Every structure is written in structure tokens, then in C-alpha cells.
């Protein structure tokens, strides 16, 4: 996980930490697992999209990523859809 990232890659390390320390165990697992598996290969644009998602409330993210509620159009993004699709794998 974080050990595989270069020590000077502060942005990726920070994003991984934020993804795995969201505040609720459910979102730590849903988002953290996704990010841990992909952060090393993410482009700058993908990291920008991830940062936008990180600003959304945990309760909403958990509802959307578990399928309890549909993702609203105003926050729908390719990154959020990728997280939703990855959850099923």
C-alpha cells in the first residue's frame, strides 16, 4: 500500500491516507480499498477527480457506493462510477 509509493510522492501518499481514514469504517473500506489498488497508476486528472470525491460527505458516499441511493447528477463522475463498479468485483 503506502510502502509501495515513492517517499517523495506526497500527493499520492496524502490521498491514500485520506481515503483510508475517512471517519467511518464503511467508507474507509469502500474508498480506501479502491484507492489503495489504483493510486500508484493514477494520472494527475484522476487524482484531481479523487480529491473532489474526498470532499463529499461519508454518509452520502456510503449510500451511493453501496447502491442504497443513486448517484445524483450534480456529483456523478467517471471516478465515482469506477468506484461503484469496482465495489462489485
The pLDDT of residue 9: 86
Q: How many domains does the chain have?
A: 1
- Provide DSSP, 23-80: SSHHHHHHHHHHHHHHGGG--HHHHHHHHHHHTS-HHHHHHHHTTSSPPPTTT--HHH
Task: Give me the domain span that covers residue 56.
Answer: 9-87
The pLDDT of residue 89: 47
Residue at 63 is within a domain: yes
Q: Which CATH number characterizes residue 37's domain?
A: 1.10.150.250
Residue at 1 is within a domain: no
- Considering only CA atoms, which of 39, 59, 58 is closest in space to residue 50? 39
The pLDDT of residue 2: 52
- Considering only CA atoms, which of 44, 2, 23, 78 is closest in space to residue 86? 78
pTM for the model stands at: 0.86
The per-residue pLDDT string of the chain (89 residues; one tens digit each, 9 = 90 and over) reads: 555 666 678 999 999 999 999 888 888 988 999 999 999 999 999 999 999 999 999 999 999 999 999 999 999 999 999 999 997 64
Amino acid at each position: 500500500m503506502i510502502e509501495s509509493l515513492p517517499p517523495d510522492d506526497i500527493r499520492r501518499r496524502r490521498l491514500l491516507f485520506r481515503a483510508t481514514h475517512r471517519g467511518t469504517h464503511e467508507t474507509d473500506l469502500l474508498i480506501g480499498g479502491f484507492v489503495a489498488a489504483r493510486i500508484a497508476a493514477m494520472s494527475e486528472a484522476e487524482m484531481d477527480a479523487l480529491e473532489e470525491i474526498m470532499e463529499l460527505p461519508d454518509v452520502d458516499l456510503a449510500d451511493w457506493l453501496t447502491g442504497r441511493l443513486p448517484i445524483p447528477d450534480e456529483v456523478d463522475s467517471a471516478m465515482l462510477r469506477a468506484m461503484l463498479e469496482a465495489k462489485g468485483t
